[in-house]
Amino acid sequence: MPRVFNFSAGPATLPEAVLRQAQAEMLDWHGLGASIVEISHRSAEFMQVAERADADLRTLLAIPDSHVVLYLSGGATTQQALIALNFAGAGQTADYVVSGHWSKTAIRQAAPYVAVNIAASSEEDRFRSLPGREGWRLSPDAAYVHITANETIHGVEYRTTPEVGDVPLFADFSSSIASEPLDVAKYGLIYAGAQKNLGPVGISVVIVRRELLERSGQHRAEIFDYRAHAARDSMLNTPPTWNWYMLGLTVRWMLEQGGVDEFARRNAEKAALLYATIDAGDGFYRNEIEASVRSRMNVPFFLHDPALDAMFLAESRAAGLMALKGHKAVGGMRASLYNAMPVEGVRALVDFMRDFQARHG
């Protein structure tokens, strides 16, 4: 059957060109006679894959030499605990800004290891806005300040980098990395699960300022120590080699498509098209997020009558539009517009939305 337009929030749609290349190379990688997933991570062949992926990611994100890139097993939630262990002393304060579900998750993972200061929160507003920087209550001796750059569930996104003084800024970019130009130098640490814009689930990217690796942090096993992973080029243990290979293919595809500047243009076009359709629906559809912080990556929306939700989902799926159901914490609908979602997919979605409204409005 033909491929559908997959609006899943993650694991998310991957570029068809990447999937086809992986399919073609699955049994025999470059004449090796074996799959890339079957060979040693320390072999010359896999080292070639890893080095190319790293060089391409550095080019794509314009990562300065001041920052190390780690490729680690697991997802962003794992990093949320490791960040506290690696960069804060036992009981030291860390500042967290709460803007949605994943901000709160980050706090839960860090709380056993740091004294969490909630510097600001938009929970009273049901996460329909971001806490204004002027109201943040930062700690003068904090180990770091943590933000979630884009909230996948609630659909809010930082459109500028907040200024936090001399304290390093840490950010979860899982659902918006590589979607537009990013000044990596402004951050002490950026982390991202790959399964939105960078590749498949099961591998995370951590971009950390080299000087921060000198912090002693807390007592921890070597496998939880970022310094040890950096010293071994992310091969302290056997890495998720297939995921790393797929990440490399995805990053190379993004470079071939024009890099983050081109994806910023496409993502702005996609988001504007969908939000305009929601806003023009005379109340049939609604998005409750403050316009200035609406996410370009994840667009939650609601129908005026929840009784229509099941019909909307069934009919959209029949029309080749997959995974539009909103997260259970919010309800309604959600369309995720990551880099691999083509503009044509969003056009198909808004055409369906207009037709559905005409038939059921």
Which of these, 265, 62, 76, 70, lies nearest to 152 by C-alpha position? 76
**Pairing state of beta strands 321-322 and 333-336?**
unpaired
Are 98 and 223 contacting, i.e. CB atoms less than 8 angstroms apart? no
CB 141 within 8 A of CB 93: yes
Question: Which entry of 172, 242, 244, 270 is annotated as an active-site residue?
Answer: 172
DSSP 323: -
67 pairs with which residues across the strands?
A: 209
SS3 of 355, please? helix
Residue 102 falls in the annotated catalytic set? yes
Q: Pick the catalytic residue from 29, 95, 196, 242.
A: 196
| 29 in active site | no
Quick check: 144 and 88 in contact, CB under 8 A?
yes
CB 229 within 8 A of CB 191: no
In whole angstroms, give the CA distance from residue 154 to residue 109: 20
Whole-angstrom Cα distance, residue 138 to residue 165?
Answer: 10
The DSSP bridge partners found for residue 118 are: 96
The DSSP letter of residue 174 is T
Owner of token pair 């749609």: 13
Residue 305 falls in the annotated catalytic set:
no
Q: With 0-12 CB in 10 A as exposed, 13-18 as middle and 19+ as buried, what is 236? A: middle
User: Out of 102, 242, 244, 253, which one is annotated catalytic?
Assistant: 102
| Active site members | 102, 172, 196
